[in-house]
Amino acid sequence: NAGVMQNPRHLVRRRGQEARLRCSPMKGHSHVYWYRQLPEEGLKFMVYLQKENIIDESGMPKERFSAEFPKEGPSILRIQQVVRGDSAAYFCASSPSTSGLQSGELFFGEGSRLTVL
């Protein structure tokens, strides 16, 4: 499967625990985006990363949330001390170089659904 791979697909955490969501972009894609989707709502941009660099994190909460895209391995979205309001579907998307930004085409994974009890 050469698509965007996200794991886990479903994650349950208790309040105060940490959640780690992983995303492997499509082969050849060096740009990764994370979006959050609340139930019955649209996709909210969180962060845009290239390998080893955070390009735009303007949509990510300043506290408890962090993202990385290391030279080797998947991109990781980390949520510390989760609260019930963090329950959502988190989607990762990738694009090759800057073409995705200009053409509007992002390739999405199937999402990671976080439930905070």
Partner 1 sequence: QQQVKQSPQSLIVQKGGISIINCAYENTAFDYFPWYQQFPGKGPALLIAIRPDVSEKKEGRFTISFNKSAKQFSLHIMDSQPGDSATYFCAAPRRSSASKIIFGSGTRLSIRP
C-alpha dist (Å) from residue 109 to 6, 7, 45:
6, 9, 15
Assigned token pair, 6: 């996200």
The minimum distance between CB 88 and partner 1, in angstroms, equals: 14
Interacting residues with partner 1 between 5 and 44 (CB under 8 A): 33, 35, 41-44
Q: Is 18 or 41 the residue whose CB approaches partner 1 more closely?
A: 41
Site string for partner 1, 40-79 (x = CB under 8 A): -xxxxx--x------xx-xx--------------------
Report which residue type is found at 6. Q
Strands in 18-87 per DSSP E: 19-24, 31-37, 43-50, 53-56, 65-68, 75-79
**What does the binding site for partner 1 look like in residue numbers (CB under 8 A)?**
4, 33, 35, 41-45, 48, 55-56, 58-59, 91, 93, 98, 100-106, 108-111
